[in-house]
Amino acid sequence: MSSRRTRGTRAEVVSAVFISAGRHHPQFMRPFEINSTDESIEDMLDNLGNLKFETDSLGGWSAGLIGASAQVSEDDEALIPFGWDAERLRFFIHAQIPDRMGTNDTQDFYITGFTENDTTYELEGGDIQMEDDTRMFINSITRIRRTSGADLKDLLGGSSDDRLSIETNSHCLIAYTDNDQHGRNHNDVRSLRPYDIASRLDNDDEEYQMDSRSDFSTGLTKSSQRDNTSAGSYLGRTIEALYESNRESITSQSWRSTSNKNPYVNAQRMLREGDQNRCKIMRMLRSETSFLRNGYITYEEACNVFDGLDNEAYTSVMVEEEVTRSRGHGRTSDMSGEGLGGSDMETVASYQALNSISGIMMESCIIQAHFLASTNRRGKIQFSFQRDTAPVFFIRDMTEEQQEENIFLLERRLRQFVFDPLEFKVGEFEMDANMDAMGDSQFFLSIQGDKEAEFWGATFADGSTSSQLTTRRGAQSELASDSKRLVDSLITR
């Protein structure tokens, strides 16, 4: 083991855990597809009425406009080191950096991800020992600004509770290709973020030429807002930005700007992802590690950035048996349930729900939740948390009021972006979701009274299975073209 560096700014680990992850059937990328037929556009305009097109105005009917691809092939399989059936560790790190000099304010970072395999570790003199070159893949980074309640009380009076605000909730899209048997390399994987769609519309290349700004030739990870995982939210952000930046300079006959005020440049500014210059952790990862280039950090690099990561006083390791007995760390898959590579309604709907729910949970600061949802005879959607299983928050010192606000946000967004679109698409359904946003998620779905199907999602690595990733050459151009057609119809209505 090499010695750790101590120079420079480091993030202080508040707590961290490495946990055994489950073994899974192959996982897949199902890129978003937009339906821009005359019929779907007419339905969209009828549902909007006089309302402005924006994310909050979208209902279940948005499922008629966008969804994950129903068809997959072996080229759509998402890749992970040593395969999805390998044993590995997943991790959760809570680190803290002072925010402003002279105050008690901090920036808190909650980082999830996974190791390349079930790496050997041992406890030695209070320290956790892993091989320095063990690769750690980051799946999400949540940045919380914590304003000292004591400082606020001195200044304004009132409660002494800390004020928490989410500054960043980023998904790390990963283009891992090292173990591909089909000759795939990182240049073959493209991102389909809303920003990439605006970039494609600003590109003069021929019809199916992909924009090099969305490939992974300069780095094997890209940042994407967590709410982009929900199809309705993805559609809302994309179309709203394109519409706002085009409405004064575009007509249905002439959609490209001929002046320096290119509307698609403006849309790119509105949709730009991440805040690498403002986010201290991202600046540290960029300067101290190979994260942006390689898509992972080594354990040695992680220990140089996160002070205390190798100290048993802050970090623990849980093997599978301990996970099964623990409260708040979910369950582990062991290749059970159906695979997520089918084209039937249950599989496609479950894939989309698993990806959407994990993103919504992270936005609500909830790491684990078990809930039921179903349509009743009157067509109303019933929702409840499983008895005696309250949601688990990854911010441990949230007040009861803050927890209630986030549970309300969770339910509202689940209804808008999961339940209502699912009912629009399939009609009657029953869902039993035991979700762990940093681990393995078990999902049961029954459609129209049929026998329920069981699926497991590797949500600890859903940055590799996102609908914003694809190897399909025409996917980006098709999304851009269909988005443009929706925008044109909104401008000319």
Amino acid in position 153 = K
Alpha-helix runs per DSSP H in 115-192: 149-156
Q: Report the alpha-carbon distance of residue 222 to residue 227 in Å, rounded.
A: 15
| pTM score | 0.88
Average pLDDT, the chain: 84
Query: SS in 3 state form for 272-300?
Result: CCCCCCCCHHHHHHHHHCCHHHHCCEEHH
Which pLDDT belongs to residue 183?
Answer: 62
Average the pLDDT over 251-255 and give the result.
45
Torsion of CA 117, 118, 119, 123, to 10 degrees: 160
Does 433 have pLDDT greater than 60? yes
Looking only at the bridges linking them, the beta strands covering 127-130 and 66-68 are unpaired
Average the pLDDT over 207-236 and give the result.
76
Helix axes 194-201 and 231-246, enclosed angle (nearest 10):
40
Q: What pLDDT, in 10s, does the model give residues 283-309?
A: 888 888 988 888 899 999 999 999 999
Which pLDDT belongs to residue 142?
Answer: 92
Average the pLDDT over 23-35 and give the result.
95
Q: Measured between alpha carbons, how far is residue 387 from residues 36, 367, 371, 403, 433 in Å?
A: 42, 18, 9, 18, 13
Cβ atoms 231, 68 nearer than 8 A: yes
Does 336 have pLDDT greater than 90? no
Cβ atoms 387, 371 nearer than 8 A: no
Q: End-to-end CA distance of the chain, in Å? A: 66
Does 157 have pLDDT greater than 50? no
Which of 152-156, 356-360, 386-390 tops mean pLDDT?
A: 356-360
Does 249 have pLDDT greater than 80? no
Which pLDDT belongs to residue 420?
Answer: 95
Which residue from 97, 98, 120, 76 is spatially nearest to 11, judged by alpha carbons? 97
Average the pLDDT over 316-321 and give the result.
69
Q: How confident is the model at residue 482 (pLDDT cuts 50, 70, 90)?
A: very high
Does 9 have pLDDT greater than 80? no
Average the pLDDT over 176-192 and give the result.
72
Which pLDDT belongs to residue 312?
Answer: 83
Which residue from 433, 116, 53 is spatially nearest to 242, judged by alpha carbons? 53
Does 450 have pLDDT greater than 50? yes
Average the pLDDT over 358-380 and give the result.
91
Q: What pLDDT, in 10s, does the model give residues 271-283?
A: 988 655 567 888 8
**pLDDT-above-90 percentage for the chain:** 53
Does 477 have pLDDT greater than 90? yes
Q: Report the alpha-carbon distance of residue 364 to residue 144 in Å, rounded.
A: 12
**Residue 85, both tokens:** 């059936």
Q: Report the alpha-carbon distance of residue 105 to residue 157 in Å, rounded.
A: 17
Which pLDDT belongs to residue 163?
Answer: 75
Cβ atoms 98, 485 nearer than 8 A: no
Cβ atoms 72, 63 nearer than 8 A: no
Q: How confident is the model at residue 251 (pLDDT cuts 50, 70, 90)?
A: very low
Alpha-helix runs per DSSP H in 250-399: 263-271, 280-288, 291-294, 299-305, 320-325, 345-363
Q: For 4-35, b where at least 16 C-beta lie within 10 A, e where not — what string?
A: eeeeeebbebbebbbbbbbbbbbbbbbbbbbb
Does 492 have pLDDT greater than 90? no
| 3-state SS assignment for residue 67 | strand
Average the pLDDT over 93-116 and give the result.
85
Please give the DSSP secondary-structure letter assigned to residue 338: B
Amino acid in position 436 = D
Least confident among 112-126, 151-165, 212-226: 151-165
Q: Report the alpha-carbon distance of residue 368 to residue 329 in Å, rounded.
A: 7
Q: How confident is the model at residue 147 (pLDDT cuts 50, 70, 90)?
A: confident
Average the pLDDT over 377-387 and give the result.
85
| 3-state SS assignment for residue 68 | strand
